[in-house]
Structure 1
Amino acid sequence: MGDFARMAFPNESAAYREARNALLDAEIALRRQTETVAAMRRALPPGGEVPEDYVFERIGAHFRPEPVRLSELFGEHSTLLLYSYMFGPERDSPCPGCTHLLDSLDGAARHVTQRAALHVVARSPIARLAGWAHGRGWNHLSMLSTAGNAYPSHYYGNTAALTPAMREQRGYKPDENWDEPMLNVFRKEGDGTIRHIWGSELVFAPDDPGQNHRALDAIDPLWALLDMTPEGRGETFFPKVNY
């Protein structure tokens, strides 16, 4: 990776420094690959126009549910991020994987929304979602109910839109459907046209042996921090909703 002055910590061995320098070179290569992938994402051609102006529900004035259209969710921005939360009405409690991620994103939301609109959508009624967010202490995330619209199936917030080939490859039954943690990005053009820009398709990509899908690790500080430890993520650990 080229010559540059390397660090050294107190009392480290020569073997440690040699291995650490090799790791640093790999980390630099990964950083560059991350930048390359981000540039490829930004350079994608325009995606497909959304088929309809979906109607969601949010908590409005006087804490009453009110409808809001997809086109309104952009606010002052031209870019919109929608995270599909695995908290449908059939669940007694939400997905712990989604929940720990949203614990972190709540802190980031105040910063993200300086540049793009960000909302969390789920199939549960909006009163249930708002109550959960309040109890969780999420003060910066905007919660929306899909209110029975077609958004989750159109944009893979659940498995309803999987093709028979995808179901067969993954061993899913034809009548089995559940929510998925999909992140989708949309852009509103100057004439008001809304296009899909990117979705976290790694959610549905085949897993590597010994791994889960890791589709949203790039925005997940929990796994990033554990990857820095000697023990790593562990073989059995998975976050809980409550401890």
Structure 2
Amino acid sequence: MMTNLFSVFDPSSSLFNLSLNWLSTFIGLLMIPPMFWLMPSRYHIIWNSMLLTLHKEFKTLLGQSGHNGSTFIFISLFSMIMFNNFLGLFPYIFTSTSHMTMSLALALPLWLSFMMYGWINHTQHMFAHLVPQGTPAVLMPFMVCIETISNVIRPGTLAVRLTANMIAGHLLLTLLGNTGPSLSITLAMFLIVAQILLLVLESAVAIIQSYVFAVLSTLYSSEVN
């Protein structure tokens, strides 16, 4: 019996008493070998064009001060989150990105490394960021407090945004799916159509949320340079 509404997302799969929940994170690695074939497949061409577009966009966001090759960090981040989001749409596969353990483990080290790099190498620039240009002298102490708080909660907002969006759609799909056996055939047909539409929406959300996570991480990185 479910103890609460969110217990359907609790890890529960195991084999020979070995927990296999987080193994779903590595299933995406199975898709990498075909990318090394001599003749590129359609999947390879589409994936390469998508990564090239992301590289150009992240390069623009980072600006001239960005280090060479730094875009690959955010492209890898985007790829990993998108793979995990998509894998969670398949039945009986644990969605790792719907847990704060995963999303906070991605957001917190990134934010900490940006902050440490900024405060060590560009201390004056980081202090200048705490007071927006044109702020009256009277409001400066308040602006420093507000900017400090908004900076500190960044990893939390990154993690919660990803987790909440992944849980919300899965929860709706689960709740609608559980009502299926008790419905008539006519209503069940409508339910199937609704589930398919929701699944398409969740596929879009899987891409959008990974893109948002990567873009916001890039923006936070560009602020410390």
TM-score by length of 1: 0.24
TM-score by length of 2: 0.25
Relative contact order higher in (CA < 8 Å, ≥ 6 apart): 2
Looking at secondary structure, tell me which structure has more helix per residue.
2
